[in-house]
Amino acid sequence: MTSPGITDDPAPARLTVGIVSAGRVGTAIGAALERAGHVVFGVSAISDASIHRAHTRLPDAQILPVHEVAARSELLILAVPDAQLAGLVSGLASTGAVRPGTLVAHTSGANGIGVLAPLTEHGATPLAIHPAMTFTGHDEDTLRLSNACFGITAADEIGYAIAQSLVIEIGGEPVQVLEANRTLYHAALAHGSNHMVTLVVDAVAALREALAGQELLGQPIVDEQPGGIAERVIAPLLSAALDNALRRGTAALTGPVARGDAPAVAAHLAELDSLDPSLAAGYRALSLRTAQLMGGRSELIELLEQR
Q: How would DSSP label each residue in 92-152?
A: HHHHT-SPTT-EEEE--SS--SGGGHHHHTTT-EEEEEEE-S---SSTHHHHHHTT-EEEE
Q: Name the CATH architecture for the domain at 4-177.
A: 3-Layer(aba) Sandwich (3.40)
The single-letter code of the amino acid at 170 is I
Run means of pLDDT, 10 residues per run, the chain, 307 residues: 46 85 95 96 96 95 98 98 97 97 98 98 98 88 92 98 96 97 97 96 96 87 89 96 97 94 96 97 96 89 88
Is the whole-model pTM more than 0.85? yes
Q: How far apart are CA 262 and CA 166, in angstroms?
A: 52
Q: How far apart are CA 103 and CA 17, in angstroms?
A: 9
pLDDT of residue 9: 52
Which residue pairs from 81-89 have beta carbons closer than 8 angstroms and sit at least 24 positions apart in sequence? 82/108, 82/109, 82/110, 82/111, 85/111, 85/115, 86/115, 88/20, 89/115, 89/116, 89/118, 89/119
pLDDT of residue 297: 80
Residue whose C-alpha is closest to residue 192's, from 231, 149, 227? 149
> What HEC string does 159-207 produce?
HHHHHHHHHHHCCCEEEECCHHHHHHHHHHHHHHHHHHHHHHHHHHHHH
Q: What angle do CA 116, 165, 9 make, to 5 degrees?
A: 95
pLDDT of residue 215: 87
